[in-house]
Amino acid sequence: MILAGSALLLYVLASYPAKIVEQYQKIKAIGPFWGYLYLGGIAIGISLLVGALCLILFMLWSNSRRERKRAERNAKEILKMAPKEKEKAIASYIEEAKELAHASQEFQELKRAIESAAERLEQKKRDEHLEIAAFGTISSGKSSLLNMLAGKEVFESDVQGGTTLKVSSIEWPGTGKVSLVDTPGLAEISGGKRGFDARDAAKKADIILFVIDGPLKDFEFRTIRDLQIMGKRILVCLNKRDWYSKEDLSVLLQRIRDQLKGLVRPEDIVAIQSEPVVRHRERIRADGTAFQEHLVAEADIDPLVTRLTAIIQDEAKDILLNNLLLQSRGLKTDTLQRIKIAMDESAAKKINEYTWKAAAAAAVSPTPFIDAAAGLALSIKMILELASIYRRNMDLDTAKELLSQLMKSLGASLGATSLSPALSQLVASSLKGVPGLGTLAGGALQGVTQALVTQWIGRVMKEYFSKSREETATALDEMARRHWEKMTSRSELVNLAMTGMKYISEAKGD
């Protein structure tokens, strides 16, 4: 939205000044007052455009800030809880997610995914298994670092970088209950499945090894901040320390510690060399002759191993519980969202199905006025099935009453405009009484009208059932009006017509 708005503003600023001046000169020739009036209108228009962009920016910033505050509040709440409280909360969240999954029998694939995630968390809690994920930019040395920790070449690495295409993990030798996890580089995170996998691995990990190879970049700082807000324990590893002199390395480490103050503990920022490097340089002797000197920087990750071992020994239980609590809480929230999405998708399919069933019934019904009854019956059946999708108890009488209330709400809120479907139905039904072309024209008109009305009823009911009873107690009138206005817009009518043509062509194919 920001890019589109900025592009529009730049386009206007680049292409319109000359046109505005030309138009102003023409209007000014009529009279100075009209010229000033024209310029005033232009100024108001530009002000509105800039104001709209600023409002969008503010809304995006406000939403981001509110989400960050919520995450920080959740992380602080977790830190204040006692271990027993954390264990109880973890069990409660996992159980609630499993109950939600069990209640979603109609969405079997979703049910299995939720149950699998819940089982993974329970297994992790039983095994007290820690996951250490390496995170960082392409070519920062993540994979090389993990290979050093593993004591063998397990993770693919390359001097060109970008060789980590997916998340992979192994057990950390000698630890028993710790896994090392490699992820795609940060520069790849913005696109495709690799980015999703890397973010998912970061959410699951108990400890993050954030690998950098120089001064902290802005996007690296933001990523570390986001990970800290998630409640992750982070160790920052300044790799390739052979690039710096001893004095420069000390200065750089202190600068990074200052930048990450409040996000990462100073003792959790260490300098390492993840792989041996041979560097060549040319030296000049006193007699003026040149010679090649070979400098070898040995691999050294001892500072990281020392710090990591101390954390695992002293804080493993607490880190594990904190992360399990975050993940179990997220599992419940994610479950609710995924069930809502699945319900909405199922409801949308059901609405489309009944839209064209009702349209076909209205179009082919040979007897005038019987077609309206068929459409009404299908609308009631659609309401009952939508209620079932959203797990709202409803019998036939209640569905009839709700449909009656909906039609009354439409009539009361829209007045004469709501009569157009009824008039179309009346005209179409009358045309059907005329043999030949009258029957065809009447059937087509009545089919389109019935499709419009059924689609509108379905959309209103979909929103109605997806909300809580408190939210929908007095909102039916507003829902009816809003969805009718949207349904009768040019774009929606064109879309409805194109969908109808698609259904007809598919029916002919069958």
Model confidence pLDDT, tens digit, residues 34-72: 888 877 887 887 788 778 777 777 776 776 666 666 555
Q: Is the pLDDT of residue 126 over 60?
A: yes
Which DSSP string do the residues of 317-381 spell out, in sequence order?
HHHHHHHHHHHHHHHHHHHHHHHHHHHHHHHHHHHHHHHHHHHHHHHH-SSTTHHHHHHHHHHHH
Q: Cα(234)–Cα(308) distance, rounded to whole angstroms?
A: 10
Q: Are strands 178-182 and 168-171 parallel, antiparallel or unpaired?
A: antiparallel
Q: Cα(415)–Cα(481) distance, rounded to whole angstroms?
A: 11
The packing angle between helices 437-466 and 370-389, to 10°, is 20
Query: Distance between the two ends of the chain, CA-based, in angstroms?
Result: 42
| pLDDT at 433 (0 to 100) | 46
Q: Considering only CA atoms, which of 84, 88, 96, 168 is closest in space to residue 133?
A: 168
- State which amino acid sits at residue 468: S
As a whole number, the mean pLDDT across the chain is 75
Q: Cα(358)–Cα(317) distance, rounded to whole angstroms?
A: 60
CB 271 within 8 A of CB 240: no
pLDDT digits (tens, 9 = 90+) for 225-271: 888 887 788 999 998 888 888 899 999 999 999 999 988 999 999 99
Q: Cα(32)–Cα(12) distance, rounded to whole angstroms?
A: 25
Q: Considering only CA atoms, which of 286, 337, 342, 280 is closest in space to residue 108?
A: 342
Per cent of the chain over pLDDT 90 is: 7
pLDDT digits (tens, 9 = 90+) for 297-342: 778 889 999 998 899 888 888 888 888 888 888 888 888 888 888 8
Please compute, for residue 226, the number of CA atoms within 13 A of its CA located in the half-sphere on the CB side: 13
Helix or strand run (H / E) with residue 440: helix 437-466
Q: Considering only CA atoms, which of 354, 390, 383, 379 is closest in space to residue 465?
A: 390
Q: Is the pLDDT of residue 388 over 50?
A: yes
Per cent of the chain over pLDDT 70 is: 70
Q: Cα(319)–Cα(317) distance, rounded to whole angstroms?
A: 6
CB 127 within 8 A of CB 177: yes
| pLDDT at 185 (0 to 100) | 67
Please compute, for residue 219, the number of CA atoms within 13 A of its CA located in the half-sphere on the CB side: 9
Q: Cα(287)–Cα(471) distance, rounded to whole angstroms?
A: 90
Confidence of residue 99 (pLDDT cuts 50, 70, 90): confident
CB 429 within 8 A of CB 457: no
Looking at residue 381, what DSSP letter applies? H
451 CB-near residues (< 8 Å, 6+ apart)? 355, 356, 358, 359, 496, 500
CB 124 within 8 A of CB 358: no
Q: What are phi and psi of 365, to 5 degrees?
A: -60, 125
Q: What angle do CA 195, 331, 235 make, to 5 degrees?
A: 55
pLDDT digits (tens, 9 = 90+) for 403-413: 887 777 666 55
Query: What integer is the mean pLDDT of 100-116?
Result: 76
| pLDDT at 371 (0 to 100) | 57
CB 329 within 8 A of CB 74: yes
Q: What are phi and psi of 14, to 5 degrees?
A: -80, -35
Query: What integer is the mean pLDDT of 203-231?
Result: 87
- State which amino acid sits at residue 229: I
pTM of the model: 0.58
pLDDT digits (tens, 9 = 90+) for 179-200: 888 877 665 444 445 555 566 7
| pLDDT at 416 (0 to 100) | 40
Q: Considering only CA atoms, which of 321, 324, 381, 374 is closest in space to residue 351?
A: 381
Q: Is the pLDDT of residue 463 over 80?
A: yes
